[in-house]
A = this chain, B = another copy of it.
């Protein structure tokens, strides 16, 4: 891995959770979850990370140890004495594209006011994972002159905090969204039209995550389509989008450039990290992952997408 200057370690802000998840492959309780954790761990394979979030005093020390072992700085994580960590409970049936929520316990997350340590305010890369867009704006107001700001969101905020979300979009460089969210936000049935409509709201770069159909990058006038990895057995789709964003940001930060060439590769690294993440519950697959695995799968993506240029003679 390249040496990354501390200032280039991305700041990742979002939820840290203890989840209860059930899928056709099994179930886990009180497992490490939350958008910020999934993103930070995925990014950590490429770069050190500065994490901003909140936990209760029930958050196991072993999880904190694991995050620190991944070179994730926890100076921005608030631990609330007597508080309980945010918890999501849900299940997936055989259609793994649909998450069914059975319970959401906001707990300490209800009063989350992200405050960036001074050292983080000069960050070059800032990722606002899926949280209330009002908080995303708070974070944007705390950073001095980031090189690249990125945000994710979800259907809940599109409906309930639309104006704040539109303001976030007007201020970030990169927006991640899944295809249903892109259509919901813009009212466009076509994913292509929806992505272009989102670009008009602010972000030069829009990345549409399409799960088993891969991902699309819209960067100014450029268009790139990344395939998905042909997984036969998905154990748990939770955190796939967050791992995708983490891989994307981690790779960008490690390269230190934001050219279209790097963005395309970052989309593939994002897809690689998401494809690993869904192979096990929680962050379990990440615990066994090595740079060699990542390199192998990147090559596999290259092979899946490869076809020869045309020979002029044919037509």
Contact = CB atoms under 8 A, between A and B. Distances in A.
Nearest to A226: B307
Interface string A166-202: 0000000000000000000000011111001000000
Given A2-B314, A294-B315, A212 B191 contact: yes
A94 B190 CA distance: 9
Given A45-B315, A224-B304, 8 more contacts: A190-B212, A190-B231, A214-B225, A224-B306, A225-B304, A264-B307, A291-B315, A298-B310
Interface in A54-103: 94-96
15 contacts: A1-B314, A2-B313, A45-B315, A94-B189, A190-B231, A213-B213, A223-B304, A224-B305, A224-B307, A225-B227, A225-B304, A227-B227, A265-B308, A299-B310, A302-B310
Each complex incorporates copies of this chain amounting to 2
Nearest to A310: B298
B225 A308 contact: no
Contacts of A216: 230
Contact of A308 (B210, B213, B227, B264): B264
A20 interface: no
A307 B302 contact: yes
Interface in A238-256: 251, 254-255
B213 A223 contact: no
A199 B191 CA distance: 31
Contacts of A292: 315
Given A224-B307, A304-B223, A310-B265, A232 B192 contact: yes
A199 to B, nearest CB: 13
A45 B312 CA distance: 14
